[in-house]
Amino acid sequence: MAKVLMKGCEAVAEAAVRAGCRFFAGYPITPQNEIPEYMSSRMPEVGGVFVQGESEVASVSMVYGASAAGVRSMTSSSGPGISLKSEGISYLSSTKLPALIVNVSRGGPGLGSIQPAQCDYYQMTKALGHGGFRLMCFAPATLQEAVDLVYNSFDYAERDRNPVLVLMDGCLGAIMEMVELPEMVEPDRKKTKAWNMSRFPDEKRPGKGLSPVYPEFVLEKENAARGQLLKSWEENDVQVEELFLEDAEYVIVAYGISARVAKEAMLKLREEGFKVGMIRPITLLPFPKKSLRNLDYNRVKGIIDVELAIPAQMHDDIALEVMERAPIYDYGRSGGMLFNDEEAYDAIKKIITGGAQ
C-alpha cells in the first residue's frame, strides 16, 4: 500500500478506524486534540459514533457502555485527563471489557506544561487506577510503529478482555511522517458474544448483565486470573529493540522520542570507537526484563537511562533487573524541555569518559 504523509495524532486515529473502531468518546486536552478532531469527521464516514463528552469521566464511561455493546471503542487524552479517566479504566478492567486508551503525554505534575514529556511512565505502568489491575502498555518511537501498535491493540484487548494502553509523547503526536496505513477491517460484533450485552436479531437468548462488583471469593479468583494474565504477557508479549549489545560496554535504555534521539547519539559515538548499545522497550508493560537481566556484566560498565522525565521514572524497573551489577546513570529533561541528538551525545559521552557525577 502506498505511503501517505500524516500527522501523528491523525495517523493513530486513522489506524484505529481501520482496525474496526466504531466508537470514540473524548474530551479536549493538548497535545492530543487532533485525535478527537479527526474522529469527529471520520467516524460518521464509516458508520461509527463520535461523542465529545462533558468531561473525561463521562467519556470513559461512554467507552465502557459501547464496549459492553460489543463495539470496538477508544478514548484518548493526556496525563491530567488520564488521571480523571482512571476510575473508569479500572471498571473496564474489572468487568473484562476491551478498549483502547491512548495517552499523548505532556509535562507535569498538575496541569504542568502543554509541551511534550515522558513523565507518565509511573502512571501508565504502576498506578493507573485503584485495585491493582494492570494493562499492556505500548510505547512507539515512530509514527509507523504507532500506527501498527494501535491497529493491533484492539486484537490484544479482545484476546485478553482487558483495555490496552498506547503511550506516545507530544512530539510523536505533532510530527509528520510517511506511514503505510493498514487495510480496513470491518468489525464483526458476533465475535464479541462473551461480553456483548446486545441481543442479535437471530438470537433468542435472554438479556444478560455485566457488573464490576463481585462476591469476595469470586473477586479473589478473578484477581488470580489477572495475575496469570500478567505472567503470560511477560512470557509471550514482550516487544523490544536491541542494538549492538553483543559488544556494548555502555547500554542506553530509552523509549519513544527519547530513543530516537539517543539512537543518533549512539551511532555517532560508535563511529568514534565507543562501544555503546541500546535497549528500546516497545512494551513498557510487560517490561523487557530479560534484555537487561541477560547482559554480560563482566563487560558492561554502565547503564544509561535516557528519558524526558526528571527524576527518571524508568530507572526503578531498570535497577530491578541490573541488581547493582553496573552503575545506572540518568540523563533527561523535564517539564516540556526537549533535548536534541547533540545534547544527548555530549551527555552520554561525558558519562562514558567519566565526567558525569
Q: What secondary structure does DSSP assign to 5-55, as a single string?
A: EEEHHHHHHHHHHHTT--EEEE---TT-THHHHHHHHHHHHTT-EEEE-SS
Position 196 confidence tier, pLDDT thresholds 50, 70, 90: confident
pLDDT at 356 over 60: no
Give the three-class secondary structure for 79: helix
DSSP 182: P
pLDDT at 202 over 80: no
| pLDDT, greater one: 308 or 2 | 308
Residue 195: per-residue pLDDT: 85
% of the chain with per-residue pLDDT over 90: 83
pLDDT in tens, 12-50: 999 999 999 999 999 999 999 999 999 999 999 999 999
Whole-angstrom distance, CA of residue 95 vs CA of residue 210: 7
- Strands 276-281, 240-243: parallel, antiparallel or unpaired by DSSP? antiparallel
Residue 201: per-residue pLDDT: 58
Facing residues of 304 across strands?
252, 329
pLDDT at 8 over 90: yes
- The answer to which of 86-90, 101-105, 204-208 has the lowest mean pLDDT is 204-208
Compute the average pLDDT of residues 195-214: 66
Residue 292: per-residue pLDDT: 98
Element (H, E) at 3: strand 3-7
Position 298 confidence tier, pLDDT thresholds 50, 70, 90: very high
Give the three-class secondary structure for 116: strand
pLDDT at 187 over 90: no
% of the chain with per-residue pLDDT over 70: 94
CA angle, residues 353, 354, 357, in degrees to nearest 5: 140
Residue 44: per-residue pLDDT: 97
pLDDT at 357 over 60: no
Element (H, E) at 201: none
Compute the average pLDDT of residues 180-187: 92
Whole-angstrom distance, CA of residue 255 vs CA of residue 258: 6
pLDDT at 290 over 90: yes
DSSP string of 298-344? Answer: TT--EEEEEESSSS-STHHHHHHHHTTSS-EEEEE--TT----HHHH
pLDDT at 244 over 90: yes
- Strands 176-180, 49-52: parallel, antiparallel or unpaired by DSSP? unpaired
Domains in the chain with CATH codes: 3-236 (3.40.50.970), 240-352 (3.40.50.920)
Position 334 confidence tier, pLDDT thresholds 50, 70, 90: very high
